Amino acid sequence: MRVEPDHARRHPGADKLATECVVNLIRAESLVARELDRIFRPHGLTSPSYNVLVILAGAGAPLSPYVIGERLLVTRGTVTGLLDSLERRGLVRRTPHPADRRMLLVELTEAARPLMRKVARDLLPAQAGMMAALSASEKETLVQLLGKVQNHLQGRVAPARTPAG
């Protein structure tokens, strides 16, 4: 998507290409999110709730809600809501931390793994389909460029505060 040809005249000091990059990233994210919602919804999941399951599965050990939030890049309240929903469905369980009574740990339940396998059967081909317009080399370039933008933006974010206690 391109911005109007007279963008620089209408917006003195604007970087037309930067604006086009941002607009296209937002549009691509919206389209990808729509496709992912279409895949997750029949399984009773959202992208963030599925990501919680993936984070826990990849960790190999229970994690604190704080760590989950750090990996998801979301607030404590968002993590609490996601965990509440997943716990109601029997997909995660919260247990007391063995060394700190003030903390909880979160782990997958036995019900989560078969659901994740079912979702993956839909998700993995859909991801390939979403990127089918790109060659392998273009996909590699896209990953590198997006990583570069992410690293730049991450460097601009204020350092995360450590949990109290």
Instruction: Calculate Rg over the CA atoms of the chain.
Output: 20
Residue 124 lies in a domain: yes
Residue 160 predicted with pLDDT over 90: no
pLDDT band at 165 (very low <50, low <70, confident <90, very high): very low
**Mean per-residue pLDDT for 45-66?**
94
pLDDT of residue 155: 80
Residue 88 lies in a domain: yes
Share of the chain above pLDDT 70, in %: 95
Q: 160, 75 in Cβ contact below 8 A?
A: no
**Mean per-residue pLDDT for 45-63?**
95
**Mean per-residue pLDDT for 133-149?**
97
Give whole-number Cα distances, 98 to 46, 58, 62, 103, 105, in Å.
31, 21, 11, 9, 9
pLDDT of residue 29: 95
Share of the chain above pLDDT 90, in %: 72
List the CATH number of the domain containing 53.
1.10.10.10
Residue 20 lies in a domain: yes
Residue 120 lies in a domain: yes
Residue 12 predicted with pLDDT over 90: no
pLDDT of residue 162: 46
Tell me the CA end-to-end span of the chain in Å, nearest whole number. Answer: 48
Residue 109 lies in a domain: yes
pLDDT band at 157 (very low <50, low <70, confident <90, very high): low
* Number of compact structural domains in the chain: 1
